[in-house]
Amino acid sequence: MKRTRALHYCLLFFLVGCQQGNLYRDLREARASAHHEWLLRREGKDRTTVLLDGELALADAIKLALIHNQTLRAVVEERAVARGDLVASYAGFLPQLNGFFSYQQNRARNLFPGAIHEYSAGLDISQPLFRGGASVARRRAAQLATVLADEIVRDSVQQTIFEVAAQYYQVLLGQFLVEANQQAVVSSSEQLDNARRKLEQGLVSDYDVLRAQVDLSNFEAEMIAQQNRRDLARARMLKAMGVSQKSQVDLTDTLEFFAMKPIFERAMEIAHKNRADLFQVEANVRIQEQALAIARSRYFPQADAVFQHQWTRPHARSGSVDEFGGNTVGGVQVSWPLLDGLAREGNVIREKALLRQRYVDLLEAEQRVELEVQEAILNLRNAEEFVGSQELNLDRAEEALRIVTARYREGASKLVEVTDARSAVTQARSLYYQAIHDHTLARLQLQLALGILGPVAGDRSVAVETPVEPASIDEFETGEETLPEPSSDDPSPLPSTQNESKT
């Protein structure tokens, strides 16, 4: 007996181990197939992946992201889930039809010799009449769930637009910084050649040449670092767009400065009326109210209209007749749980507590929105002041470089002074580009904080025909040109400070 039991256990473990091995084999094959598909996409042979080549405007990048972004595509399926729950909620109002069949042999019967074959088949129809309000509450909760799903999708759409636009602006900043460092490398290389010529003439020492070589290496290293940051931002932008990483695109938009004076009270009004997360919390409160109504419905009776027709052999009315016979019954069935061991009371207490939690969540969400709007406005003001200060600082640095370069050519300044001035110009130019970028990103963050970076509440569209213009809020824009034009003597192009897109 013990040996047989041990054999049974060994056989069971063997079968379980084989099944687990088969599961891992299937998973490995799936991952190998995924790698093969990745290779096809890498080589551009997979037609399901979008491969871009040419110019790319920000509006087009957003449109592509709303179609191909994988995270957004997954979130959109929340609508189908909510729709399925809504369809299922109608079960509390519609009739239910069930068919049944059974067969058995009864050798214990004394009415007929031998084995008796017993058959039973029939149809049951039930129509819910009263559920204590539970059916209405479930349908209402399912309808609210569809609204919740729409707001989840709308929030994801805005987050996608923000991510694509932010990475687009980051690529533009990277291009500007690379150009600025390239100008510094070219200038430093010319300065090194000049130092070598002067060394041959005996006008400078070896130290000046070595210092120029070190400065050139430093500028080249910084240029390489900026190129890496630009390429990383480009890869993140393509990922957010849902297109191939082998896409070759040239960004056509530019970083621009628009003066903006948001009013906090008006901004909060817009946020309260448009933030998708506030709509979500409001929907959750109402869904929980329906859950409480469902829990309270257990205190009421439940009534159904029932109808059944059954065919049996032996005959349903006379068990002594070995032939098929039918029987039909109908009526109203009422059930009323009078005592269920305090399960109803416990459920009601639980749902009330959850409802209080939802109200607290709503208050917390409103406070979080207020803080985010306030932070966005403060960041916007700080960024605007930063732009103004860096514009002036860049002019000073360029003028200082011009003066010290002229004096160096006349032999009145040292090479180290020219190097320091050039470093100051490169740093000032980079800070100016960064200031323009920060101000643009601050405007974009304000749009997101107000909930207007995409479709409005109730709009179920995802692939927006005319996407919202990122980093632009007409109501708060002053239309004033607060900064002067960049100097035409600047060898490196600067971001625009004019309101060109409005003209």
Q: Tell me, what's the pLDDT at 232? A: 94
More confidently predicted of 158 and 41? 158
For 104, the 3-state DSSP assignment is: strand
pLDDT-based confidence at 304, cuts 50/70/90?
Answer: very high
The single residue listed with the structure tokens 């569809």 is 146
Would the pLDDT of 321 be above 80? no
Query: In terms of residues, how long is the chain?
Result: 503
Would the pLDDT of 247 be above 80? yes
Cβ atoms 451, 280 nearer than 8 A: no
The single residue listed with the structure tokens 């000073």 is 396
Cβ atoms 442, 380 nearer than 8 A: yes
Is the backbone peptide bond immediately before 314 cis, with ω within 30 degrees of 0? yes
State how far the Cα of 423 lies from the Cα of 218, in Å rounded to an integer. Answer: 10
Average pLDDT of the residues in 56-79: 93
Q: Which two tokens stand for residue 152?
A: 């989840």
CA-based nearest residue to 181, from 212, 227, 214, 213: 227
Q: Tell me, what's the pLDDT at 493? A: 37
In the 3-class helix/strand/coil scheme, how is 61-87 assigned residue by residue? HHHHHHHHCHHHHHHHHHHHHHHHHHH
Average pLDDT of the residues in 348-375: 96
Would the pLDDT of 429 be above 90? no
**Strand ranges, E, within 93-194:** 96-106, 116-130
pLDDT-based confidence at 195, cuts 50/70/90?
Answer: confident
More confidently predicted of 461 and 156? 156
CA-based nearest residue to 134, from 341, 337, 320: 337
Q: With pLDDT > 70 as the criterion, what percentage of the chain qualifies?
A: 83
Average pLDDT of the residues in 26-49: 71
State how far the Cα of 281 lies from the Cα of 451, in Å rounded to an integer. Answer: 14
pLDDT-based confidence at 240, cuts 50/70/90?
Answer: very high
Q: Which two tokens stand for residue 499?
A: 């309101």
> pLDDT tens digit string along 208-232?
788 888 888 888 898 899 899 999 9
Would the pLDDT of 426 be above 60? yes
Task: Say what the pTM is.
Answer: 0.81
pLDDT-based confidence at 204, cuts 50/70/90?
Answer: confident
Would the pLDDT of 410 be above 90? no
State how far the Cα of 67 lies from the Cα of 242, in Å rounded to an integer. Answer: 8
Average pLDDT of the residues in 331-338: 90
The single residue listed with the structure tokens 């031998």 is 114
Domains of the chain, start order: 59-88+135-293+342-502 (1.20.1600.10), 95-130+302-335 (2.20.200)
State how far the Cα of 369 lies from the Cα of 282, in Å rounded to an integer. Answer: 14
> pLDDT tens digit string along 248-280?
999 999 988 888 899 999 999 999 999 999 999
> pLDDT tens digit string along 86-126?
999 999 999 999 998 888 876 655 555 544 677 888 899 99
State how far the Cα of 466 lies from the Cα of 451, in Å rounded to an integer. Answer: 17
Would the pLDDT of 196 be above 60? yes
Average pLDDT of the residues in 39-68: 83
Q: Tell me, what's the pLDDT at 18? A: 61
